[in-house]
Structure 1
Amino acid sequence: MSENDVFDLIVVGGGINGAGVARDAAGRGLKVLLCEKDDLGNWTSSASTKLIHGGLRYLEHYEFRLVKEALMEREVLINASPHIAWPLRFVLPHNSALRPAWMIRLGLFLYDWLGGPGQTLPKSCGVDLTRHEVGAPLQENFKKGFIYSDGWVQDARLVVLCAQDARDKGAEILPRTRCVKAERKSDQWEAVLEDQKTGEQRTVRARLLINAAGPWAKSFLSSSLGTDSAMDLRLVRGSHVVVPKLYDHDHAYIFQNPDKRIIFAIPYEDDFTLVGTTDEDHGSDPSAARISDEEVRYICESASRYFKKSVSIEDVVWTYAGVRPLFDNGETDASKTTRDYTVERDEKSGVAPALHIWGGKLTTYRKLAQAVLKEACDLLGVADKPWTRDAVLPGGDLPEGSAGAMERELLKQYPWLPQPLAYRFAKTYGAQAVDLLGDAASPEDMGMNFGADFYEREVRYLVDREWAQTVEDILWRRTKMGLRLEASEVETLRQWLDKNQGQAAA
């Protein structure tokens, strides 16, 4: 076995937790390999509500530690990736039939306080919905509401940027590579990895194995490691719909439903509104998660209780669903199952150790990675030196720390660039947009236009630099251009990939 096949640790799973762990570990100088059986962020991590938030509703379940940690992470994540993450103000219309106003105000006061004294996001406040612009889209019976702060992130891009940073720091990142099996060979793990496209297998060794397989964490234990754990997961499906823009301002809404669940309505990709989510137990293969007709109706009806313009099934232009691997704390109601995480230490004297990740949420991925690395450093006998708190992700070193300033810089460097495209590049790639554009001096230098100013040069960049291989990778995870292209344009892109992917990736 060559030196290139021996690592300090193998991370199995390329969602946000796995990518975050690989990034943190590589930044500490550890030799890291990450393998993911599908695309990076393929399932859970690209199917979230895309919020950086403490979870206002978790206060009702007394999860104060989780809420505090998540609230304190909001600005850390926004500062690390200002091109793909930004603050967002949320409007909570008051429905006196569900909760008294004093209870909501008290909860928001606690939410502000748990965020800590160093937070710069605006505090919560009351709002007169009959006078403020945020009341205009709402039914007239909603007179009073509250506004508070949280944040938003392009979830799938966050995963890719963590993986990029890990790669830049020396990690080997292998999407579409399944860990077929892993066995303890004395003080090392021996793992067999299989390329999902070619079927080619490779055997690697590592001192430590980290199970970050998300919804597959439990089944990976039995199928690939031949073991089990007393820990368990509850697989809960969260579904969302996207409809044409329901209002013109930049605030999001949080709506309380009679069943005590909540849904969000969030400005999305400039011309749309994202509405969700649901909490339904999912008993089958996580990769088979699809929104049900009942969930579509539930989301539309929930939004229609609040907006003047009713939201109908016919309005829906796109849907998505993902399975959250929640740490099973025995709750009957899926919506009450904890969003906290646990790191299980699996060690026996004289044999290679493992760490298993149970649960977690998007907002706390960096803290989860730190918790994993604290255990990993102890097991490997190296110093625990956290470093990610003030480190920006690739593309996050924007002029003036602003995507708007990056947009202006692009228009200055590339005066031929249409303003909407400069805006999209700044909000998608940040400072890396210059790497994408390179020496392009005109639209013709961008290659084929697949539609909606989505050019061949951008596709090549996604294939070369971001591990994209399929139309779905490109249009629904690396970008959301699937909302812009016609079916015929998508097919043209598919044909281009079939013909040129080998050349693009060379």
Structure 2
Amino acid sequence: MKLRILPGFLRSNETLSSGHAGGGERQLECDLLIVGGGINGAGIARDAAGRGLSVVLCEKDDLASHTSSASTKLIHGGLRYLEYYEFNLVRKALVEREVLLQSAPHIMWPLRFVMPHDKGLRPSWMIRIGLFLYDILGKREILPGSRSVDLRQHPAGEPLKPAYAGRGYIYSDGWVDDARLVVLNAVDAAEKGARILTRTACESLERQGGGWLARLRSPSGPVTVRARGVVNAAGPWTAHFLQQAAQQPSTKSLRLIKGSHIVVRKLFDHPYAYIFQHPDGRIVFAIPYEQDFTLIGTTDIDYQGDVDKVAIEQSEIDYLCTLSSRYFKKDITPGDVVWTYSGVRPLVEDEAASASAVTRDYRLELEGKDESEGAPLLSVFGGKITTFRKLAEEAVDMIAPRLGVSQGAWTAKACLPGGDLYGDQPNARGVTEFDAFAAGLRDRYPWLSAPLATRYARAYGTRVHRLLEGRQGLAGMGEEVAPGLFEAEIDYLVREEWAMTARDILWRRSKLGLHLPPGTEARLDAWLQERRKTEALAR
């Protein structure tokens, strides 16, 4: 049996019917198959489904399980890219900052950055020019501009060593829960008819009969997809997928750059983040994180290893600790590190000698621009999380005409799920009045503790009512499987957001793993396994 996916037909929590051909092999037809469940793949799926294309997205692991959950969690223009004359990239990213902030103010918010002046590094005139360009290259409605500051009279100066608590600079960017950004794009795509297949790898791809025939491997068995077009958004695996699965040559090569981060107990109580310079020319951020922690990163080093096994090296931990200790009064040592994470950025190869200088801009490569060249295949190279929406828009603009769809771009004027705090369209109120929304949630559900209500508001925005509506007190939330993690939330994440394991829930759908006692992940996995057994018996 072939199932053609049409907009609005399948929801994220529904199951595909099994076919009978090929010994139970499932068969699907769609307009567009997207390979890769990171931010670019999820963003393209959302944009395409919203234009009326039937979409299947497959991801070999969980959504955002690699590069897209290993960022520095910033929505930013990239101040340091100005040194490399990446003016177009910086401007594009600066424009996107406020588009994104207004579209999902629950998982993104403004953040002010403090740059202490190091007299031995970049001179004051260079910093002032850079910040002036940063202020004028992108439109700003919400974010305040940059200014100089005397850190001796500012709370951000207190944690710094005296040598750096003098002149400094403050500018604006934004913070984002990167993994939830991916999930919300996938949720929106699914609600517009896309089918999201996690833990499903695309093992082969071949042109056949004017379209593509893809063979996927899922936990429940093989899946065959016939698609009119394909998007290769496999991130670090983009070039490998072209060569191995699609057997296509690529005119672009990727330079894999590993970025690693450390998390320590919070080093300061104020809400500002820091941007620190290093004598080697690189910069490192120190960011308030999860109320009780400070996030420090990132490193930029070339990576040649297994992309499925990326991990921080001791030398990277030492580097980040040493650089942080250069500025903070408190020495940070490897023993202070409570968590680390690493990811590989797939950057477009250029002539840059250092990893930190490689362009963060993206390239889109379309094969099959007309019918004489066969079915279209669009590959995505490079990119950064801030420009994902624009990348997705351009990608669909390129491939949609080949699929007979003329509907134009729409995502710039649309909220992500849960982001419609004050109306259906993005607006500044969602950003500037988020605290009022969170207070209203506590008024509506007075049985929630303030920390739990705030966490729910941040994670789910207006979608929190799907989780809480009709529940009478904490008893109505079911079993408290771990401190602050109730059965109702777990069910929601499994049903609506494709969560399957404790790691999905504790480290990608949330960062509860940082706050909960050791052994929680194993206990939650055992609970999930028992729940699945119970449900199987009930069927």
**Shorter-chain TM-score category?**
over 0.9
CA distance in 2, matches of 1:382, 1:449: 48
- TM-score, length-normalised on structure 1? 0.97
The code of the aligned residue for 2:86 comes to: E
DSSP-derived class of the 2:485 partner: coil
DSSP-derived class of the 1:487 partner: coil
Q: Which of these residues, 488, 512, 518, is aligned with residue 481 of structure 1?
A: 512
Equivalence for 1:57 = 80
Call closer, same or farther: CA 1:492–1:290 in 2, change over 3 Å.
same
**Structure 1 range deviating more: 443-452 or 293-302:** 443-452
**Structure 1 range deviating more: 371-380 or 296-305:** 371-380
Contact 1:463–1:501 (Cα < 8 Å) also in 2: no
Q: Which of these residues, 284, 289, 312, is aligned with residue 291 of structure 1?
A: 312
The code of the aligned residue for 1:315 comes to: D
CA distance in 2, matches of 1:304, 1:94: 16
Equivalence for 1:120 = 142
Call closer, same or farther: CA 1:230–1:430 in 2, change over 3 Å.
same
Equivalence map 1:54-133=2 (5 Å)? 54-116=77-139, 118-133=140-155
Equivalence for 2:159 = 137
CA distance in 2, matches of 1:310, 1:381: 60
Equivalence for 1:301 = 322
Q: Tell me how far 1:350 sits from its aligned partner.
A: 5.0
**Structure 1 range deviating more: 448-457 or 425-434:** 448-457
Contact 2:51–2:405 (Cα < 8 Å) also in 1: no
Equivalence for 1:351 = 374
Q: Which of these residues, 459, 473, 493, is aligned with residue 442 of structure 1?
A: 473
Equivalence for 1:466 = 497
Equivalence for 2:521 = 490
DSSP-derived class of the 1:450 partner: strand
DSSP-derived class of the 1:77 partner: helix
CA distance in 2, matches of 1:193, 1:427: 35
CA distance in 2, matches of 1:312, 1:114: 39
Q: Tell me how far 1:62 sits from its aligned partner.
A: 0.4
CA distance in 2, matches of 1:412, 1:503: 36
CA distance in 2, matches of 1:459, 1:216: 31
CA distance in 1, matches of 2:136, 2:441: 39
Q: Which of these residues, 10, 30, 39, is aligned with residue 16 of structure 1?
A: 39
Q: Tell me how far 1:410 sits from its aligned partner.
A: 1.9
Q: Deviations over 1:405-451 (max 9, x none)?
A: 23222212211111110011001111111111232212122222233
DSSP-derived class of the 1:265 partner: strand
**Structure 1 range deviating more: 140-149 or 221-230:** 221-230
1:2 and 2:2 correspond: yes
DSSP-derived class of the 2:519 partner: helix
Q: Which of these residues, 412, 415, 433, is aligned with residue 392 of structure 1?
A: 415
**Structure 1 range deviating more: 466-475 or 405-414:** 405-414
Contact 2:115–2:275 (Cα < 8 Å) also in 1: yes
DSSP-derived class of the 1:305 partner: helix
1:184 and 2:207 correspond: yes
Equivalence for 1:174 = 197
Identity over aligned pairs, percent: 54
CA distance in 2, matches of 1:486, 1:504: 28
The code of the aligned residue for 2:307 comes to: P
CA distance in 1, matches of 2:39, 2:414: 17
Q: Which of these residues, 403, 414, 422, is aligned with residue 445 of structure 2?
A: 414
Q: Tell me how far 1:50 sits from its aligned partner.
A: 0.6
CA distance in 2, matches of 1:502, 1:326: 43
Q: Which of these residues, 49, 54, 57, is aligned with residue 31 of structure 1?
A: 54
Q: Tell me how far 1:502 sits from its aligned partner.
A: 6.0
DSSP-derived class of the 2:153 partner: coil
Equivalence for 1:501 = 532
- Structure 1 unaligned residues grouped into runs of 5+: none
Contact 1:187–1:350 (Cα < 8 Å) also in 2: no
Contact 1:72–1:119 (Cα < 8 Å) also in 2: no
Q: Tell me how far 1:504 sits from its aligned partner.
A: 7.0
Equivalence for 1:315 = 336
Equivalence for 2:354 = 333
Q: Tell me how far 1:285 sits from its aligned partner.
A: 1.6
Equivalence map 1:255-270=2 (5 Å)? 255-270=276-291
Q: Tell me how far 1:301 sits from its aligned partner.
A: 0.6
Equivalence for 1:233 = 254
CA distance in 1, matches of 2:524, 2:334: 29
CA distance in 1, matches of 2:135, 2:534: 52
Q: Deviations over 1:300-324 (max 9, x none)?
A: 1111100111111111110000000
CA distance in 2, matches of 1:501, 1:75: 42
Q: Tell me how far 1:147 sits from its aligned partner.
A: 0.1
Q: Tell me how far 1:338 sits from its aligned partner.
A: 0.5
Contact 2:89–2:361 (Cα < 8 Å) also in 1: yes
CA distance in 2, matches of 1:502, 1:467: 18
Q: Deviations over 1:361-382 (max 9, x none)?
A: 0000000001101111232232
Total equivalences in the alignment: 503
- Structure 2 unaligned residues grouped into runs of 5+: 5-27, 423-428
Contact 1:404–1:426 (Cα < 8 Å) also in 2: no
CA distance in 2, matches of 1:194, 1:49: 32
Contact 2:56–2:197 (Cα < 8 Å) also in 1: yes
The code of the aligned residue for 2:506 comes to: L
DSSP-derived class of the 1:95 partner: coil
Q: Tell me how far 1:186 sits from its aligned partner.
A: 3.1
DSSP-derived class of the 2:399 partner: helix
Contact 1:187–1:207 (Cα < 8 Å) also in 2: yes
The code of the aligned residue for 2:2 comes to: S
